[in-house]
Amino acid sequence: MRKVFGAFVVKEIKHILRDVQTLIILIGMPIVLVILFGFAVKNEVNDAKIAIIDMAKDDLSLELTHQLSASNYFILSELPGSTNQIENIFRKGDAKMAIVFEPDFANKFYKDKKASMQLIADASDPNTANILLNYAQAIIRNFQNEKNKNAHVPYLINMETKMLYNPTLKSVVYFVPGIMTIILMLISAMMTSITIAKEKEKGTMEILLASPLNPSLIVIGKVAPYIILALFNAATIIALGIWIFDMPLVGSFGLLTGEILLFILASLSLGVFISTISQTQQVAMMISLMGLLLPSILLSGFIFPLESMPKVLQAIANIIPAKWFIQILRGIMVKGVGIDFLWKQTIVLAGMTLFFIAVSIKKFKIRLE
Amino acid sequence: MDKPVIYSNDLTKNFGSFCAVNKICFEIKKGEIFGFLGANGAGKTTGIKMLTGLLTPSSGEARVAGFDVFTESEKIKKNIGYMSQKFSLYNDLTVNENIRFYAGVYGLSKKEIKIKKKELIAKLGLEDVQDTLAKELPLGWKQKLAFSIAIIHQPKVVFLDEPTGGVDPITRRQFWEMIFDASAAGITVLVTTHYMDEAEYCDRISIMVDGKIVALGTPKELKNQYNEEDMNSIFVKLARG
Amino acid sequence: MRTILFIIQKEFIQIFRNKGMLPILFVMPFIQLILLSYAADYEVKNIKLNIIDNDMSHASRLIVSKFQANKHFDIVHFGASAKQGFDDLNAGEADLFVHIPMGFEKKLIQEKDGSIQITADAVNGVKASIATGYAQNIIASFNKQFLKSLKHPVGMMPKPAIDVTYSNWYNPQLNYKNFMVPGILVMLVTMIGAFLSGMNIVKEKEDGTIEQLNVTPIKKYQFIIGKLTPFWILGMIILTIGLVIGKIIFAIPMVGSLGLIYGFTAIYLLLILGLGFFISTITTTQQQALFLAWFVLVIFILMSGLMTPIESMPKWAQVLTKFNPIAWFVEFNRRVLLKGSSFLDVKYFFFYIAIAAVVMNVAAVANYRKRA
């Protein structure tokens, strides 16, 4: 029996190795994606084009304009004469934000103690608009504090603000675990769901099922080579994250390895589950692509914080395996916490894995009897 | 005398340094059943693919239904039918839909399609399953249906690439009856096979070994020439070299 | 022409016969559209706060109540110690903890000085800085109130200040759904188009039916048009349903012309289907085609400017987005639906996508060979 099983695993490994083109895709794809997304998927905005309408043109407005454009966030693109032109600039997409200084800006600041300026954002992309407004306000606040430096104020509460885990607020720290998770999960789930669905479609699954091997052994045999492949992918992804993107690895390496293995098992069993509910390869593919891709990106906390979502979505997010693993990765790599803080996530992932395996085996047995 | 329907002179196909088909020469007359015999990998399928326009030959010359295989492959396609080892019915279409689709792409008119469909279904006895998906038909039925579809547009030539693989002797016999009918109707048949009993049904056969035609003639001529009782012995003799 | 119609008919029969596929095409996209449009929001809400009041004074209670009343914060714990605050951050139970130390009020009144610690989980840097900003504003407002309440108001000159007002054009409430709904719709239409067309020819290759087609007199262009049209129609139908959902459920403003959107989608779909067919011609199994299509699409999606701003990308990546059709479509929708740009404003979008569609389809046709 063990011999048969061994022979079977060898057959599966040979299958994968023979298809060189697919193998290259499977090994190369995660590497390309991690590098590409590691650099490109961020929410810090740099070099956003802004238009400045300076109706004062005095020392103070020029100084502030200079500070705005000296920051990494903005570059000056347009200097229109009047606010009427803003509409046109936005429509053509030449600037994302316009900043308007009122006339006589400096005088009003020093004499009336109150000068006004207006920030107009192109909010057709509300996320960017939000970020840009925050940046501009922070720069203006600093500028104002700088000007008031000498006035000491009593009764002022000192706010000691501390940014834990990521003091320089780098966005890679936030996004890289998500990127790793998405790639690992989709590849693992996709690979298994398709291979098994393919055997079903071609009818070769029946031959295997008619063999003396137990159906669950057959599934394990099909999945085993992919565990190795997925582990290899995980190792490259983690290594790239650490070497290229300076991801910290504060926590325990052993725990990280264990959790990765658990997540790979969860993803592979999800793939097996998908294949048992779909009759043809195409259906399996569409479910693992259409069904998993966007929800895993949007409902996992990868890019958009889950807490900001409506309660219903937060509840739905609980069934997304990626959500739990992203929390685990951030916990181990960035926060450096141990299993005492991550037991909940671990149990959920383990539970999901068992659920998928149990349902799949049940389905296989039904077909066999 | 009629011009040959298929004419091949020194037709050759190389894949890199490997020569799959090596200078084959033959002529096939109208209505003739011509058999391509050979072991797996002897070059039968490659030969057929060149004649049907699926593969461009490396050298030599060949004409099918009067058209050149190098320059007029699209014209050839109007005049031939083809049935491959994996008879290409759409599994997710019904019997009716398969017939209508292929008749349609061969340019039959609506009326012709209707008549042909009726005729074909009656002839094959498929009345009860005409709305059944092709994948649910037994293998033998699929083969007969695929053959009927391959000649639905009454081509000059039909190419059959191992059409009877994996079916029982009775169905095979029925299948050959259909081939005889087609031949009687003036369709030239080029068939590949490795069943030696089927070779006996052919008007003439050629035996291919390693891309070359090593013997060509009627079954009787070949038996006399090699002094053997049956085709099988001749084939074994030739294939062993 | 008749040949093309026969191919189209066959493709439609095959699409609708695949019962497992129908819900994936006509139900799943719309569920995703409705649900996921609520998910994408950078506005920081429901910040999980752990507030530790070790002072228990009048002042500290006032600060706590201000946090309680603020809509941005969700107080998850009234902690007892700083250690618990850190534990909550570690476990992800809280995003922020605010610690008012013992003797805060006394020190503020007697020594005219006080301090409060704000500690944030900064794994998500943007969120952390916005959240701490909110917390600082609350404390500052307490501070102001406190200064006013002093019996002997501090006799000091008001400080010069810049009064910043801001407005968000095209989307004054920062309703991100206006932005996400059309964006997600584009992604769904793109995925369906590319996957279906990408797997189509390759499926005929795998099944062996392609050989049969290749010996028929079907011409290349007839073949491609016959295969493209059903998916094109399908794409337009999905787009239409999606727009109706956007209008009815999300009340997306449609400032610009709907005709412009349709015209653009019509060309855009040709590009996407051409891409799918191209992938189909260079692969031999559905599995390969799928991986390749997935690889391309996941890049298109994550680098489209919908999820994260294109402005945040490094220069070379920004250049790459010029080759990303989804990025073009996202920007096009934004311009036309929200800003009401006219055809003249966006004519180069049409031009660019049309050229790309031609190039892609020519490449696909050239690569699809009837003979080897």
From chain C residues 15-54, the ones with a CB under 8 A of any chain B CB are: 17-18
Residue C122 lies in a domain: yes
- Quote the CA–CA distance of A281 and A283 in Å, as a whole number: 5
Q: Which of C114, C149, C184 is the last residue of a domain?
A: C149
Per the domain annotation, does C158 fall within a domain? Answer: no
CB neighbourhood size of B63 (10 A): 20
In chain C, whose CA is at the least distance from the CA of A293? C298
Domain that holds residue C26: 2-39+175-367
Q: How far apart are CA A125 and CA A102, in angstroms?
A: 26
- Could you read off the pLDDT of B186-200 as tens digits, one per residue? 999 999 887 888 888
Indicate the residue of C6, C17, C372 with minimum beta-carbon distance to B105: C6
Q: Residue C217: which of B92, B106, B159 has the nearest Cβ?
A: B106
Q: Which of C71, C22, C176, C51 is nearest to C116 (CA)?
A: C51
Phi-psi region of B125 (alpha: psi -120 to 50; beta: other; left: phi over 0): left
Rounded to two decimals, the ipTM of the complex is 0.83
Convert the pLDDT of each residue in C101-121 to its tens digit.
Answer: 888 888 888 887 788 888 888
pLDDT in tens, A111-139: 888 888 888 888 877 778 878 888 888 88
Residues C287 and C344 in one domain: yes
Which sign does the torsion angle of CA B155, B142, B133, B120 carry? positive
Give the helix, strand, coil percentages of chain C, each rounded to 5. Answer: 65, 10, 25
Whether C104 and C182 map to the same domain: the answer is no
pLDDT recorded at residue C238 = 92
pLDDT digits (tens, 9 = 90+) for A155-183: 777 777 777 788 777 778 888 888 889 88
Examine residue C162 and state whether it is found in any structural domain, yes or no.
no
Residue B59 CB neighbours (<10 A): 11
Looking at the structure, do residues C72 and C8 belong to the same domain, yes or no? Answer: no
Over residues A358-367, mean pLDDT:
74
Which residues are C169's β-sheet partners?
A: A122
Could you tell me the pLDDT band of residue C43, with boundaries at 50, 70 and 90?
confident
Residue A205 confidence class, pLDDT cut points 50, 70, 90: low
Would C166 be classed as within a structural domain? no
Q: What is the pLDDT, as a whole number, of residue A369?
A: 46
CATH number, position C118: 3.40.1710.10
* Alpha carbon B98 to chain centroid, angstroms: 20
Alpha helices in C308-346 (DSSP H): 315-320, 325-333, 339
Considering the domain boundaries, does residue C12 fall inside one? yes
> Which of B54, B73, B97 has the CB atom closest to C13's CB atom?
B97
Q: Where does residue B166 rank: exposed (0-12), middle (13-18), buried (19+ CB within 10 A)?
A: exposed
User: Would an 8 Å CB–CB cutoff place C8 in contact with chain B?
Assistant: no
How many domains are there within chain C? Answer: 2
Contact (CB<8Å) C170/A123: yes
State the pLDDT confidence band at A89, using cuts at 50, 70 and 90.
Answer: confident
CB-based contact (8 Å) between A172 and chain C?
no
Task: Give C120's strand partners.
Answer: A163, C96
Question: Would the pLDDT of A358 be above 90?
Answer: no
pLDDT of residue C109: 84
Instruction: For chain B, state the CA radius of gyration.
Output: 18
Q: Cβ contacts of residue A89 below 8 Å, gap of 6+?
A: A51, A78, A80, A95, A98
Residue C336 C-alpha, separation from nearest chain A C-alpha, in angstroms: 9
Of A155, A158, A329, which to mutate for an interface test with C (greatest number of C Cβ within 10 Å)?
A155
pLDDT at C369: 72
Q: Rounded mean pLDDT of B96-104?
A: 91
User: How many Cβ pairs closer than 8 A exist between chain B and C?
Assistant: 78
Per-residue pLDDT band at B87 (split at 50, 70, 90): low
Please tell me which residue, A9 or C198, carries the higher pLDDT value: C198
State residue C158's pLDDT score. Answer: 58
How far is the C-alpha of A256 from the C-alpha of A250, rounded, in Å?
Answer: 10
- Is the pLDDT confidence value at A74 over 90? no
- Identity of the residue in C108, C175, C284 whose CB atom sits nearest the CB atom of A126: C175
Residue among A37, A17, A14 nearest A27 (CA):
A17
- C332 shares a domain with C216: yes
Which residues in B have their CB inside 8 Å of a CB on C? 52-56, 73-74, 77-78, 80-82, 84, 86, 88-93, 97, 100-102, 104-107, 133, 159
Kindly state whether residues C106 and C59 are assigned to the same domain: yes
Note whether C344 and A91 are within 8 A (CB).
no
Chain A residue whose CA is closest to C26: A290
Bigger pLDDT: A42 or C222?
C222
Same domain, C133 and C233: no
List the chains bordering chain B where 3 or more Cβ pairs fall under 8 Å. Answer: C
- When comparing pLDDT for A15 and C61, which is higher? C61
Domain assignment present for C106: yes
pLDDT beyond 50 at A315: yes
The torsion angle over the Cα atoms of residues B136, B138, B144 and B150, rounded to 10 degrees, is 30
- Span B231-240, mean pLDDT? 79
Residue A66: C-alpha distances to residues A52, A83, A131, A236, C164 (Å): 11, 20, 20, 44, 17
**What is the average pLDDT across B55-81?**
88
Which residue type sits at B59?
A: S
Do C227 and C332 fall within a single domain? yes
Domains of chain B: 6-240 (3.40.50.300)
Q: Is residue C148 exposed (0-12), middle (13-18) or buried (19+ Cβ within 10 Å)?
A: exposed
Tell me: do C62 and C83 sit in the same domain: yes
Arithmetic mean of pLDDT over chain C: 85
B46, B58, B87, B88: best to mutate for the C interface, most C CBs within 10 A: B88
Same domain? For C80 and C25 the reply is no
> Which 3 state secondary structure label does DSSP give C48?
strand
Contact at CB, B93 and C372, closer than 8 angstroms = no
Which residue of chain A has the CA closest to C45?
Answer: A308
| Interatomic CA distance for residues B61 and A176, integer angstroms | 62
Distance separating alpha carbons of residues C52 and C209, to the nearest angstrom: 71
How many other C-beta atoms lie within 10 A of the C-beta of residue A351?
A: 12
Angstroms from B227 CA to nearest CA on chain C? 40
Residues C9 and C92 in one domain: no
HEC profile for C206-248? Answer: HHCHHHHHHCCCCCHHHHHHHHHHHHHHHHHHHHHHHHHHHHH
C10 and C142 in a single domain? The answer is no
For residue C29, which residues of chain A lie inside 8 Å, CB to CB? 290
Pair C222, C365: CB distance under 8 Å? no
Using CA atoms, how far apart are residues A23 and A240, in angstroms rounded to an integer? 20
**B14: which strand partners?**
B19
Whether the per-residue pLDDT at A260 is higher than 90: the answer is yes
Which has the closest alpha carbon to A136: C133, C170, C96, C42? C133
Domain membership of residue C154 (yes or no) is no
Question: For C318-332, what is the mean pLDDT?
Answer: 90
Question: Which of residues C149, C165, C192 is at a domain's end?
Answer: C149
Going B152 to C208 to C362 to C231, the CA torsion angle's sign is positive
Domains and CATH numbers, chain A: 2-41+169-368 (no CATH), 48-144 (3.40.1710.10)
Q: Are residues C13 and C57 both part of a single domain?
A: no
State the Cα–Cα distance between residues C90 and C82, nearest whole angstrom.
12
pTM here is 0.82
More confident residue, A22 or A185: A185
Chain C: residue whose CA lies nearest to B72: C217
Tokens 């906390």 belong to: A301
In a domain, C164, yes or no: no
Q: Least CB-CB distance to C295: which of A29, A198, A290?
A: A29
Final residue in a domain of this structure, among C84, C115, C149: C149
